[in-house]
Amino acid sequence: MNQSNNRPAEKYSLDLCKFIMAFAVIAIHTDPLVDCSNAAMSRIGYLLLSMAVPFFFLTSGYLLACKLQYPLSNPDNFSKIRRYIIKILKMYLIWTLLYFPMALWHFIATGKTLQRAIQLYIQGFFFVGQQYNSWPLWYLLSTIYTLALLLLLLKYNAPPTIFLLVSGIAAFISFSIDALLASPDHFPTAMQALLPLIHNTVQHGRIFTGGIYLPLGMLLANRKLPVFLNRLLLPIGFIASFLIHASVINASLLIIISVSFFGIIEHISLKKHRFYHFMRQSSMILYLIHMYVWSIYYKLLYNHKDHGIDDFLITAILTFALAVLFFLFKNKSQKITPEISSRFMY
């Protein structure tokens, strides 16, 4: 890795790709490929979509680190990281509140007792990062927990290599939990004994995803992989993931694919354009609100969860329209301060 202190304030290629990845997240949830009869095309499509959330994490870590002094353990960085955590926490609280009516409706519709509803809501809030159909919110909770851990380590003057260790441990825990849930009989009895704990807390390994990619994104702000290596690893990882159908191996290959893809995008230099400003501000709105749009759409049209190309197109178009309206409202209204609007997005 090459260490670099040349950390540009603007990375329009990241804004553009993050905007595109927001639509990829919409596609993950609405599944436009559900009726695709070509297995190879479906496999390629799902591999491409699987990079979306890792790209969000990598970008967040990278952009945060670009605002910090090097080394990252510099005490001047602590307040900046702390402010960022508080900012994400405010977003998580606000969006959890916005999704609360949907969770309440689901508890009533499924006949949950008050005690069970409270139990599930607390579990979702602190451990899973989501309630009914508020799937995007786990990203925020994972970010909060990961940055809180990294801040603690940096306060103890941890070297940059600790970020790689955190990423590796998070990957091990996440992959192990998912493998245990998928095939508990393949694990010793001592590991199977953890299943009730998992079911009553994190439910799966997803919440640890931020621990995998955020530290890597922060490292890439100072130590970039050579471009030729990224261009080599991306197709190799993609082809290997296409051919191999083992979940743990695929999850490991996704790290290689996502990091190399991020490195290629980060290296691209784009000229300044005001549309990138819109992309930067709207990508998180697209990410966070699309589940509301999709839920209303399928409920009104089908009265049950539905997936397909129409779900994706309608959800994407309506969510994009809402993002445009929010952008115009935020930038033209003199009554909304940057501090207030930043609580909804970043």
The pLDDT, as a whole number, for residue 5 is 45
The pLDDT, as a whole number, for residue 4 is 43
Ordered DSSP codes for 45-110: HHHHHTTHHHHHHHHHHHHHHHTS-SSTT-GGGHHHHHHHHHHHHHHHHHHHHHTHHHHHHHHHHT
User: Is the separation of the CB atoms in 315 and 26 below 8 Å?
Assistant: yes
Q: What is the DSSP code (8-state) at residue 308?
A: S
- Name which of 214, 225, 31 is nearest 140 in CA terms: 214
The pLDDT, as a whole number, for residue 340 is 52
Q: For residues 56, 62, 65 and 71, what is the CA-based torsion angle, rounded to 10 degrees?
A: 140
From first to last of its 346 residues, the chain has per-residue pLDDT tens of: 444 444 455 789 999 999 999 999 999 999 999 988 899 999 999 999 999 999 999 999 999 999 998 888 888 999 999 999 999 999 999 999 999 999 999 999 999 999 999 999 999 999 999 999 999 999 999 999 999 999 999 999 888 889 999 999 999 999 999 999 999 999 999 999 999 999 999 999 999 999 999 999 999 998 889 999 999 999 999 999 999 988 899 999 999 999 999 999 999 989 888 888 889 889 999 999 999 999 998 888 887 778 899 999 999 999 999 999 988 887 776 454 555 555 555 6
What letters, b where the CB count within 10 A reaches 16 and e where it falls short, cover 307-338?
beeebbebbbebbbebbeebbeebeeeeeeee
Q: What is the model's pTM?
A: 0.91
Three-class SS of residue 2?
strand
The pLDDT, as a whole number, for residue 271 is 87
The pLDDT, as a whole number, for residue 346 is 60
